[in-house]
Amino acid sequence: EDQVTQSPEALRLQEGESSSLNCSYTVSGLRGLFWYRQDPGKGPEFLFTLYSAGEEKEKERLKATLTKKESFLHITAPKPEDSATYLCAVSGNQFYFGTGTSLTVIP
């Protein structure tokens, strides 16, 4: 069965305290792994696409990596404006989303 599991469900960090979010998956015929950011009351905002194990993508304080069974979203020296829910999705025949990690960065 295709599925995506994200951990932790919630994460509280002090400003500047780096950490990682995890996305583990099982999917038949992986076409891509996607990271999104979602702010309350808004649609998810696209961050990264990863297609193959070993691939890495970076954007400002965020870095996404991919292995054969999981992906990590590393957040370096986070700021309060990074507070949001981060969603992971994998695509086989369709998109499967995880339930997200709710990140709170405290000033």
Partner 1 sequence: KAGVTQTPRYLIKTRGQQVTLSCSPISGHRSVSWYQQTPGQGLQFLFEYFSETQRNKGNFPGRFSGRQFSNSRSEMNVSTLELGDSALYLCASSWGQGGTYEQYFGPGTRLTVT
One residue of 69, 93, 104, 106 binding partner 1 per CB under 8 A: 93
Q: What are phi and psi of 76, to 5 degrees?
A: -100, 125
Residue entry with tokens 């499967």: 96
Q: What are phi and psi of 81, to 5 degrees?
A: -70, -10
The residues, ordered by sequence, that sit 6+ positions from 57 with a Cβ below 8 Å of its Cβ are 48, 49, 50, 63, 64
**Which lies closer to partner 1 via its Cβ, residue 79 or residue 95?**
95
- Taking the C-alpha atoms of residue 106 and residue 83, their distance in angstroms, rounded to an integer, is 9
Site string for partner 1, 39-78 (x = CB under 8 A): ---xxxxx--x-----------------------------
The window from 15-23, 55-63, 74-82, 88-96 that contacts partner 1 (CB under 8 A) reads 88-96
Interface contacts to partner 1, rule CB under 8 A = 31-32, 34, 36, 42-46, 49, 87, 89, 91-100
